[in-house]
């Protein structure tokens, strides 16, 4: 298989090791040892070194109500003070905090002093509108300085923000506003991306229509494009009007370390989105610490994380981590392919970016673009400013890794493949650029202090070389605190009783037998193990759908099998009427042979079932959990209330 983890090892070049915050493997090992021998002391030391506390904590970890862990409980601090004021107080107010590049390429530089002034004024405007500590504020804004300021302003007054990605529909926005019981929405008239303006305010209007969100008292609108929008008198106010005349100072709200800094909704595979709740102290510690060690951020760096503030990566590695360290970062409004697919490379050259953090999917699409249009190949740009590259969000396949390393990083930049989740707040398993030897396709080793491990279904360690369930054994400072409004779901999702009190990440992983390096094999429900061969269900699905003359759609799940451990079961919707009898058998054989040819005989589905459709949620997600029951031939006992077409289950269960 082409995506086999590479055998190549890239040791960090001397230039990356020298002067790094964590320099060399001995330094990494020493940190791990320190955490192992005095876990609480380790985190306490770092929390004192990296953060400024209004009231120092005396208690480090409180596990008396596990899994509702508390960190630095009796300490008080403020996130916006840590991200802004303290740098200005240290005489660094003139330092550029944000280099904002708009859709059309125009650039705005915002210093720490400016960012603080804007945050303070908005904080005062929010207070004037009656927003108080603990209130929830929804932010539905484009990538902008104003978006970052909105988050910081909430943090300043102790309001808990919930950023909703600008691509979500009115219905999703409404669900989130309702679930959070938000009192106010910050939005923009329109967002501007790829030369097009997209409505945001009208989506807010639709979400709030018919008094569907009675907790909302106001909507503050940043004028981005000046496009025509609807207006509700008494509810809506322009951002520029709201901040005009506000006092230039605002005492930060010194909140307890456990105070909820934000909620961020993320989808489970079924049911309604979960409002992942994060803390103030523990979260900010890990945001700052991982930015410092994983990206080796220094004063001389220009850091660019291409994520949107609507996702956790944008929270931790745009709004909080880099600013907590007083760094300089690029914030980008647009898309990687506008005006052409050379935009990223052109921007790295223009802003002399030194640390670049993006997603494998972006890299893969830019590889494709460069293959068809030589003009947008990175070799046409001067990328010599780069010193560290990062990857996040999904496994990066070795071929994409190699291309990124060679063509973007010029063969000299370590790639940090950072594994983490919305729930973890920051990096969990990742190389450190001045220490860890890299293996393409592996996220390597746990961040110092993170007790990542691989266990079986009963929570017992599995030996290296054998796949299993990824867990984190000990609580860590930036972990999810609860699912907002649903503590039972939090416990059930992340702390199932059979796992000995370990945090369940929901991913499968395997450690290399020699190096102990971790490779994430994907969400537990998407990975199969057949005769000891690990395979992604997605891989088999794409092989099936690549049989374009026959297959319209396919879903693949595993079912227990006595001889092979797990057997592959494929559910297929054909581009022709559902076959039965001998015809079905013949087509099934044809498809098995097809998969064998595409991937290898080991990937041949043992069972192939045909249906007129697949069981899907109303949002269009295939419900693999149900398919697993069907594959096993057992009665479906799971909740099917979110299933669009329940009748399909019976049809898919039929043999031919
Ligand atoms: C930060 C973020 C989390 C899920 C996670 C895993 C996948 C993220 C990865 C990775 C392999 C990496 N994932 N980083 N898989 N290697 N470096 O993406 O958060 O949106 O919550 O997604 O993404 O499956 O469980 P989130």
User: The domain that contains 624 carries what CATH number?
Assistant: 3.30.300.30
- The yes-or-no verdict on residue 452 having pLDDT over 60 is yes
Q: Which atom of ligand 1 is nearest to the CA of 520?
A: 11
- Residues in CB range of 64: below 8 A, 6 or more apart: none
State residue 502's pLDDT score: 98
Instruction: Quote the ligand 1 centre to 375 CA distance (angstroms).
Output: 32
Instruction: Quote the ligand 1 centre to 429 CA distance (angstroms).
Output: 11
- The yes-or-no verdict on residue 31 having pLDDT over 80 is yes
Query: Is the shortest distance between the CB of 361 and ligand 1 below 6 Å?
Result: no
Q: Is 523 annotated as a binding residue?
A: yes
State residue 535's pLDDT score: 66
Residue at 325 is within a domain: no
State residue 527's pLDDT score: 58
- Report yes or no: 344 and 380 within 8 Å, Cβ to Cβ: no
Query: Is the shortest distance between the CB of 313 and ligand 1 below 6 Å?
Result: yes
Residue at 613 is within a domain: yes
Query: Is the shortest distance between the CB of 494 and ligand 1 below 6 Å?
Result: no
- The yes-or-no verdict on residue 518 having pLDDT over 90 is yes
CA distances 61 to 75, 78, 182, 449, 549, Å, are 12, 19, 30, 14, 59
Per-residue confidence band for 650, with pLDDT thresholds at 50, 70 and 90: confident
Dist. CA 22–CA 434, nearest whole Å: 6
Q: Which atom of ligand 1 is nearest to the CA of 430?
A: 17
Query: Is the shortest distance between the CB of 419 and ligand 1 below 6 Å?
Result: yes
State residue 442's pLDDT score: 96
- Residues in CB range of 223: below 8 A, 6 or more apart: 188, 189, 238, 239, 240
Domain count for the chain, please give it.
1
Q: What percent of the chain has pLDDT over 90?
A: 80
Mean pLDDT, residues 131-153: 98
The answer to ipTM > 0.95 is: yes
The larger pLDDT score, comparing residue 206 to residue 634, is at 206
Burial bucket for residue 563 (CB in 10 Å: 0-12, 13-18, 19+): exposed
Per-residue confidence band for 548, with pLDDT thresholds at 50, 70 and 90: confident
- Residues in CB range of 414: below 8 A, 6 or more apart: 10, 12, 13, 16, 388, 389, 431, 433, 434, 436, 438
Instruction: Quote the ligand 1 centre to 269 CA distance (angstroms).
Output: 14
Mean pLDDT, residues 56-63: 98
Express each pLDDT in 417-446 by its tens digit.
Answer: 999 999 999 999 999 999 999 999 999 999
Q: Is 485 annotated as a binding residue?
A: no
What 3-state DSSP class applies to 495?
coil
Express each pLDDT in 294-330 by its tens digit.
Answer: 999 999 999 999 999 999 999 999 999 999 999 999 9
Mean pLDDT, residues 240-248: 97
Instruction: Quote the ligand 1 centre to 419 CA distance (angstroms).
Output: 6
Instruction: Quote the ligand 1 centre to 521 CA distance (angstroms).
Output: 11
Mutate to test the pocket of ligand 1, among 318, 393, 483 (most ligand atoms within 8 A of CB): 393
What 3-state DSSP class applies to 439?
coil
- Residues in CB range of 18: below 8 A, 6 or more apart: 434
Which residue's CA is the closest to the ligand 1 atom numbered 5?
Answer: 421
Q: Where are the beta strands (DSSP E) in 27-141?
A: 61-62, 70-71, 76-77, 96-101, 107-111, 136-140
HEC string for 577-591:
CCCCHHHHHHHHHHH
Q: Is the peptide bond before 67 cis (omega within 30 degrees of 0)?
A: yes
Per-residue confidence band for 3, with pLDDT thresholds at 50, 70 and 90: very low
- The yes-or-no verdict on residue 514 having pLDDT over 50 is yes
Q: Is 491 annotated as a binding residue?
A: no
Tell me which residue range forms the domain holding 645: 531-652
Q: Is 245 annotated as a binding residue?
A: no
Instruction: Quote the ligand 1 centre to 308 CA distance (angstroms).
Output: 15
CA-wise closest residue to 569 among 595, 600, 599: 595
Q: What are the beta bridge partners of residue 607?
A: 569
State residue 271's pLDDT score: 38
Dist. CA 184–CA 140, nearest whole Å: 11
State residue 635's pLDDT score: 81
Instruction: Quote the ligand 1 centre to 208 CA distance (angstroms).
Output: 32
Residue at 629 is within a domain: yes
Query: Is the shortest distance between the CB of 417 and ligand 1 below 6 Å?
Result: yes
Q: Is 418 annotated as a binding residue?
A: yes
Query: Is the shortest distance between the CB of 172 and ligand 1 below 6 Å?
Result: no
The larger pLDDT score, comparing residue 244 to residue 267, is at 244
Query: Is the shortest distance between the CB of 393 and ligand 1 below 6 Å?
Result: yes
Q: Is 98 annotated as a binding residue?
A: no
- The yes-or-no verdict on residue 180 having pLDDT over 50 is yes
State residue 251's pLDDT score: 98
Instruction: Quote the ligand 1 centre to 456 CA distance (angstroms).
Output: 21
- Residues in CB range of 54: below 8 A, 6 or more apart: 76, 77, 78, 81, 252, 254
Q: Which atom of ligand 1 is nearest to the CA of 429?
A: 17
**pTM, two decimal places:** 0.84
Give me the chain's average pLDDT, please: 93
State residue 436's pLDDT score: 98
Query: Is the shortest distance between the CB of 420 and ligand 1 below 6 Å?
Result: yes
Q: Is 615 annotated as a binding residue?
A: no
Query: Is the shortest distance between the CB of 506 and ligand 1 below 6 Å?
Result: yes
Query: Is the shortest distance between the CB of 395 and ligand 1 below 6 Å?
Result: yes
The larger pLDDT score, comparing residue 146 to residue 167, is at 146
Q: Which atom of ligand 1 is nearest to the CA of 417?
A: 17
Dist. CA 197–CA 129, nearest whole Å: 29
Instruction: Quote the ligand 1 centre to 394 CA distance (angstroms).
Output: 5
The 8 Å CB, 24+ separation contacts for 564-568 are: 564/530, 564/531, 564/606, 565/529, 565/530, 565/531, 565/532, 566/528, 566/529, 566/530, 567/530, 567/606, 567/607, 568/528, 568/530, 568/535, 568/540, 568/603, 568/604, 568/605, 568/606, 568/607
Instruction: Classify residue 561 as left (phi > 0), alpha (psi -120 to 50) or beta.
Output: beta
- C-alpha torsion 70→74→78→79, nearest 10: -20
Instruction: Quote the ligand 1 centre to 507 CA distance (angstroms).
Output: 9
Residue at 75 is within a domain: no
Alpha helices, H only, 409-563: 487-494, 537-545
Residue at 585 is within a domain: yes
What 3-state DSSP class applies to 305?
strand
Query: Is the shortest distance between the CB of 422 and ligand 1 below 6 Å?
Result: yes
Residue recorded with tokens 């451990």: 565
Query: Is the shortest distance between the CB of 202 and ligand 1 below 6 Å?
Result: no
Query: Is the shortest distance between the CB of 310 and ligand 1 below 6 Å?
Result: no
- The yes-or-no verdict on residue 58 having pLDDT over 80 is yes
Dist. CA 192–CA 200, nearest whole Å: 10
Residue at 414 is within a domain: no
Residue at 571 is within a domain: yes
Residue at 433 is within a domain: no
The larger pLDDT score, comparing residue 4 to residue 8, is at 8
Q: Is 189 annotated as a binding residue?
A: no
Q: Which atom of ligand 1 is nearest to the CA of 266?
A: 21
Per-residue confidence band for 643, with pLDDT thresholds at 50, 70 and 90: confident
What 3-state DSSP class applies to 565?
strand
- The yes-or-no verdict on residue 532 having pLDDT over 80 is no
Q: Give the β-pairing of 355-358 and 527-530.
A: unpaired
Query: Is the shortest distance between the CB of 520 and ligand 1 below 6 Å?
Result: yes
Dist. CA 267–CA 39, nearest whole Å: 32
Per-residue confidence band for 533, with pLDDT thresholds at 50, 70 and 90: low
Query: Is the shortest distance between the CB of 312 and ligand 1 below 6 Å?
Result: yes
CA-wise closest residue to 79 among 262, 248, 324: 324
Query: Is the shortest distance between the CB of 441 and ligand 1 below 6 Å?
Result: no
Q: What percent of the chain has pLDDT over 70?
A: 96
Q: Poorest-confidence range of 71-85, 230-244, 638-652? A: 638-652
- Residues in CB range of 372: below 8 A, 6 or more apart: none
Instruction: Quote the ligand 1 centre to 530 CA distance (angstroms).
Output: 24
Per-residue confidence band for 270, with pLDDT thresholds at 50, 70 and 90: very low
């Amino acid at each position: 298989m082409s995506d086999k983890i590479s055998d190549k090892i890239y040791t960090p070049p001397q230039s990356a090791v020298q002067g790094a915050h964590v320099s060399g493997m001995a330094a990494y090992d020493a940190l791990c040892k320190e955490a192992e021998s005095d876990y609480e002391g380790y985190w306490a030391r770092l929390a004192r070194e990296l953060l400024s506390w209004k009231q120092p904590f005396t208690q480090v970890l409180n596990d008396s109500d596990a899994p509702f862990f508390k960190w630095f409980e009796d300490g008080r601090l403020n996130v916006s003070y840590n991200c802004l004021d303290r740098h200005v107080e240290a005489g660094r107010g003139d330092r550029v905090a944000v280099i904002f590049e708009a859709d059309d390429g125009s650039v705005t530089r915002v210093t720490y002093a400016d960012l603080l002034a804007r945050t303070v004024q908005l904080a005062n405007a929010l207070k004037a509108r009656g927003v108080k500590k603990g209130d929830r504020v929804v932010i539905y804004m484009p990538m902008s300085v104003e978006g970052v300021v909105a988050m910081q302003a909430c943090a300043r007054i102790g309001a808990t923000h919930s950023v909703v990605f600008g691509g979500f529909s009115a219905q999703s926005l409404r669900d989130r506003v309702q679930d959070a019981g938000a009192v106010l929405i910050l939005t923009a008239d329109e967002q501007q991306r790829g030369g097009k303006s997209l409505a945001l305010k009208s989506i807010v209007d639709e979400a709030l229509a018919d008094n569907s969100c009675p907790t909302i008292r106001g909507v503050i609108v940043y004028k981005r494009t000046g496009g025509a929008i609807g207006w509700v008198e008494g509810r809506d106010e322009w951002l520029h009007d709201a901040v005009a005349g506000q006092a230039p100072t605002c005492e930060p709200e010194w909140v307890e370390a456990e105070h909820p800094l934000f909620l961020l909704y993320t989808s489970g595979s079924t049911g309604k989105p979960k409002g992942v709740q994060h803390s103030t102290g523990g979260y900010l510690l890990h945001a700052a610490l991982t930015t410092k060690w994983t990206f080796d951020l220094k004063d001389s760096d220009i850091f660019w994380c291409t994520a949107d503030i609507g996702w956790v990566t944008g929270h931790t590695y745009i709004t909080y981590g880099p600013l907590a360290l007083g760094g300089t970062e690029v914030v980008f409004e647009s898309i990687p392919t506008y005006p052409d697919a050379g935009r990223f490379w052109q921007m790295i050259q223009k802003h002399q970016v030194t640390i670049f953090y993006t997603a494998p999917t972006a890299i893969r699409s830019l590889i494709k673009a460069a293959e068809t249009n030589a003009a947008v190949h990175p070799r046409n740009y001067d990328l010599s400013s780069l010193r560290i590259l990062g990857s996040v969000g999904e496994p990066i396949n070795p071929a994409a890794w190699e291309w990124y390393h060679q063509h973007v990083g010029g063969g000299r930049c370590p790639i940090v493949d950072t594994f983490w989740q919305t729930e973890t707040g920051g990096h969990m398993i990742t190389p450190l650029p001045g220490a860890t030897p890299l293996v393409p396709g592996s996220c390597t080793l746990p961040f110092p202090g993170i007790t990542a491990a691989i266990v079986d279904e009963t929570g017992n360690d599995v030996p290296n070389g054998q796949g299993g369930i990824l867990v984190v054994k000990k609580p860590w400072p930036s972990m999810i605190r609860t699912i907002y409004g649903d503590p039972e779901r939090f416990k059930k999702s992340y702390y199932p009783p059979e796992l000995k009190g370990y945090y369940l990440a929901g991913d499968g992983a395997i450690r290399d037998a020699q190096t102990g390096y971790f490779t994430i094999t994907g969400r537990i429900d998407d990975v199969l193990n057949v005769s000891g061969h690990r395979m992604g269900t997605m891989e088999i699905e794409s092989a099936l759908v690549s049989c374009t003359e026959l297959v319209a759609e396919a879903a693949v799940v595993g079912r227990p099998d006595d001889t092979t451990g797990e057997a592959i079961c494929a559910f297929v919707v054909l581009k022709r009427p559902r076959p039965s009898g001998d015809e079905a058998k013949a087509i099934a054989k044809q498809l098995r042979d097809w998969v064998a040819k595409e991937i290898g005989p080991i990937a041949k589905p043992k069972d192939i079932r045909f249906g007129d459709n697949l069981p899907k949620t109303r949002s269009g997600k295939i419900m693999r959990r149900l398919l697993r029951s069907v594959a096993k031939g057992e009665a479906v006992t799971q909740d099917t209330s979110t299933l669009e077409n329940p009748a399909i289950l019976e049809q898919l269960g039929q043999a031919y």
